[in-house]
């Protein structure tokens, strides 16, 4: 799911009517997203996506809940299959994770993201992939995974 969908949901939580969100078409769409926001007939200046939640006075917990359910679930889905990807592709996934952390804390694009990831207790993308793979192997070895997966490891 794209960040534009997340922004529409944040707009819905805020009660903003007639909001249209347009997004630059880039790989993974989120690492440098700028959204022109349209409220009725008045066009707001192009603003970074992360400042929208701040302007709308959405509680951080609500934004965090939306980000976890929409963005992180997509990053984690099938992440064990990301093992062996080239570093540049993992970096692209990491930029999506960084954008999500910046969205939650309404921080600027060039602010350091490591303290934000620590405060959210989120692993970096390469660590998330290794963790998901380790959990999958543990479940297979202990009979907690589906048989079609467990049979391949024995």
Instruction: Check residue 55 and give its pLDDT.
Output: 58
- Specify the number of domains making up the chain: 1
- pLDDT tens sequence across 88-99: 999 999 999 999
Instruction: Check residue 4 and give its pLDDT.
Output: 53
CB-CB contact of 32 with 46 (8 Å): no
Instruction: Check residue 22 and give its pLDDT.
Output: 39
- Assigned token pair, 7: 């922004």
Distance separating alpha carbons of residues 48 and 70, to the nearest angstrom: 19
Distance separating alpha carbons of residues 99 and 73, to the nearest angstrom: 15
- Parent domain of 134: 3-153
Q: Please work out, in degrees rounded to the nearest 5, the angle formed at the alpha carbon of residue 54 by the alpha carbons of 57 and 117.
A: 120
Distance separating alpha carbons of residues 26 and 38, to the nearest angstrom: 21
Q: What is the mean pLDDT of each run of 10 residues along the chain (154 residues)?
A: 49 41 38 34 41 66 92 90 93 95 92 96 96 93 90 79
Instruction: Check residue 52 and give its pLDDT.
Output: 52
Q: Residue 47 belongs to what H/E stretch?
A: strand 47-48
Distance separating alpha carbons of residues 141 and 54, to the nearest angstrom: 46
- pLDDT tens sequence across 134-148: 999 999 999 999 999
* Whether the predicted model's global pTM rises above the 0.75 cut: no
Distance separating alpha carbons of residues 105 and 126, to the nearest angstrom: 22
Instruction: Check residue 87 and give its pLDDT.
Output: 95
**29-50 burial string, b = 16+ CB within 10 Å, else e?**
bbbebebebeeeeeeeeeebbb
Instruction: Check residue 57 and give its pLDDT.
Output: 75
């Amino acid at each position: 799911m794209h960040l534009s969908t997340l922004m529409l949901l944040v707009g819905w939580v805020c009660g903003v009517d007639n909001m249209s969100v347009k997004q630059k078409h880039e790989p993974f769409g989120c690492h440098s997203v700028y959204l022109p926001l349209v409220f009725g007939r008045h066009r707001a200046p192009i603003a970074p996506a992360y400042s929208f939640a701040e302007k709308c006075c959405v509680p951080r917990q609500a934004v965090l809940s939306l980000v976890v359910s929409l963005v992180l679930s997509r990053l984690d889905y099938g992440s064990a299959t990301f093992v062996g990807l080239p570093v540049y592709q993992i970096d692209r996934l990491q930029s999506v994770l960084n954008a999500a952390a910046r969205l939650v804390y309404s921080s600027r694009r060039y602010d350091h993201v490591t303290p934000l990831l620590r405060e959210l207790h989120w692993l970096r993308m390469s660590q998330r992939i290794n963790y998901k793979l380790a959990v999958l192997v543990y479940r297979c070895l202990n009979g907690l995974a589906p048989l079609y997966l467990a049979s391949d490891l024995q």
